[in-house]
Amino acid sequence: MRAAVMGMGSWGTAFAMVLADAGNDVVVWGRDAPAVATVNSQHRNPRFHPGIDLPITLSATADSSHALRGADVVVLAVPAQTLRENLTRWGADVPRDAVLASLMKGLERDTGLRMSQVVAELLPDAGPRVAVVSGPNLAGEIAKRQPAATVVAADDEGVARRIQVACLTPYFRPYTNTDVVGVELAGVVKNVIALAAGMTKGLGFGDNSQAAIITRGLAEMTRLGLAMGAEPLTFMGLAGVGDLVATCMSSLSRNRTFGENLGRGMSVDDVVRITEQTAEGVKSAPAVLALGRRLGVDLPITEHVTAVVQDGLSPHEMVVRLMAREAKPEWAGGHDADGPATAG
């Protein structure tokens, strides 16, 4: 198949490598003309994956219409908050029979829409052909062809299977799922929880603190997902707990690293200045919190992370406030004590 990867950042480039290694003809689109030239002349993207050789069947272009022409698979790998702008510019060139795979993990800040919903709004004919890809997929490891697994979720299982076949390699194992809401939401919320985990690390706290954040974060994302009609088992799988653990614990995680710098005393503006890649959780946290409030779901970690990144609350005070919350049972009659049922 011919695949167009729209975005040549860290994850977009790594996923393009997977597609090429799976036997597809891959064109990556990016705005940075020198980076495009380097990919084509040296088969490398040194800004994001220094020292990694790209497959020779992978090429790059700064012409979006060229990238999209004749594509069987269109991969959306731009920063979440730029998707609407990008689709407005080149969405009309997306082939009408192509399947679309979203790698983006964010909620649109102004509307609270998931990325697949933004696609469906701007490209109504493409809506049924959109899938989301999410899992413990740290781009730096995948670019080194280390074993990894992911979830490809689409309302139409046939769409999910087409993308599954397109990205199946000896080192990258995709599973299909029809719970688009759960898979996509987990990919968003885990970034917010990773900011909190990073802050605890930056404050000098140990594994107990981070394990508590991860576990209660899992309960938090599950509560929100169930309120939105997601399947409970999704949050126990690769897109849920799998991606949550990887994002919260790995030094390769942009969101965890961003939180760690906050915990060490840097301001949000300072961290943004030294952060080369987008930490989606910073911009998604307020939208996730607003979504939870609309649905009547208590999201204490998200609430306090939002207070840090948006309102200037210190990470130390965040931890103090979380620890000072009213003592509760972990489970109440089969329900999580902070909200709707999370299991059973």
Which residues are the active-site residues? Answer: 190
What the block records as the tokens of 310 is: 């948006």
Strand partners, 132: 102, 153
What the block records as the tokens of 211 is: 């394990």
Give dist(CA 98, CA 1) in Å, integer: 10
* Helix locations, 231-335, DSSP H: 243-249, 254-263, 268-274, 280-295, 300-311, 315-323
Give dist(CA 245, CA 316) in Å, integer: 22
CA distances from 65 to 73, 140, 251 (A): 14, 28, 36
Give dist(CA 81, CA 94) in Å, integer: 20
SS3 string, 56-79, reads: CCEEEECCHHHHHCCCCEEEECCC
For the chain, what is the radius of gyration of the CA atoms? 19
User: 308 and 286 in contact (C-beta within 8 Å)?
Assistant: no
